[in-house]
Chains A and B, each alone.
Chain A
């Protein structure tokens, strides 16, 4: 019974949680549309618009 409740609670939490960005693998062609202005992006709206040159995406944190 406890495990059923646990599954139901987990499902409810996952259902409410904002969708996480997909994990990628080598060779994938990720697609993404930005919802907000990219700083210094001069109006770019998606990753697709960056094609034509190598793109280095660096994930960093402030803390």
Chain B
């Protein structure tokens, strides 16, 4: 776990780290361990659901590294393969900046835009290619541009889904911060622009003001807790839970009240 967390801190947005607890421990026990070891506060995700099995001879920790297309690129026992894990991640991160040689150059250029999160630019480029393919490789370009456009819509929809989830599940502050950037990145994908602007309107509504204030407060409190898990924050979460009763952040505060010592 510590090396996975280090990699998450180092690579930030360029890497997804998913930590899977495989011994069936209870959530409270896992949370206490995470806090004590200062493993929280990064983008790393955690679950107790094992998505698949890696041949490991029953030993833990073990890992699987998936490439950006979702294929298993490396797997095994962590310690033995640590330098290979780092090498492959670095190569994948650098590779995402380069145009694919498997695609026609124009589509490859648009694909790089998608990988950088410029969904609207990639979408418009794919549409332009579909509208103007008079060349001899028209059929190939049409197929590739159609696939790219579909993929752009899937990825961009995923990004909007994340913001929507954050907005209504206790992370409204983060949703608000991410919304403006994504709104720029979606220009030209009308359905998603509309969906995003509806979320934006809801976030600015009177009904959401309390959720937004609560989300800001709990985010700050959690950062303090992650940095100094030994300090007593139980009372602060209790206050928040009472002051913002009925909000999603208050529900989260109630969980912390249950986990943290009196």
Residues of A at under 8 Å CB distance from B? 20-30, 32, 34-36, 38-44, 47-63
Q: Which residues of B contact A49 (CB under 8 A)?
A: 158, 161
Alpha-carbon distance A48/B68, docked complex (angstroms): 10
Identify the interface centre among A24, A41, A55, A61: most chain B CB within 10 Å of its CB: A55
A40-B93 in contact (CB<8A): no
A23-B52 in contact (CB<8A): yes
Residue of B nearest to A25 (CB): B72
Interface size on B, as a range, is: 35 or more
B70-A51 in contact (CB<8A): yes
Q: Which residues of B contact A60 (CB under 8 A)?
A: 1, 19-22, 60-61
**Given A40-B46, A57-B19, A59-B56, list of 16 further CB < 8 A pairs?**
A21-B50, A25-B72, A28-B72, A32-B52, A35-B49, A36-B48, A39-B46, A50-B70, A51-B69, A54-B14, A55-B66, A58-B4, A58-B20, A60-B60, A61-B23, A62-B21
Identify the interface centre among B53, B66, B74, B155: most chain A CB within 10 Å of its CB: B66
B45-A44 in contact (CB<8A): yes
A54-B1 in contact (CB<8A): no
Given A29-B71, A56-B89, A42-B23 contact (CB < 8 Å): no
B47-A54 in contact (CB<8A): no
Identify the interface centre among B16, B89, B158: most chain A CB within 10 Å of its CB: B16
Which of B61, B93, B155, B161 is in CB contact (< 8 Å) with A58? B61
Residues of B at under 8 Å CB distance from A? 1, 4, 7, 13-23, 25, 29-30, 33, 43-56, 60-75, 78, 85, 88-89, 92-93, 96, 115, 155, 158, 161-162, 164-166, 169, 171
Closest-CB distance, A41 to chain B (whole angstroms) = 5
Q: Which residues of B contact A54 (CB under 8 A)?
A: 14-16, 65-68, 73, 88-89, 92-93
Residue of A nearest to B30 (CB): A62
B71-A53 in contact (CB<8A): no
A56-B53 in contact (CB<8A): no
Given A26-B73, A36-B49, A57-B20 contact (CB < 8 Å): yes
Identify the interface centre among B7, B53, B115: most chain A CB within 10 Å of its CB: B53
Alpha-carbon distance A60/B78, docked complex (angstroms): 10
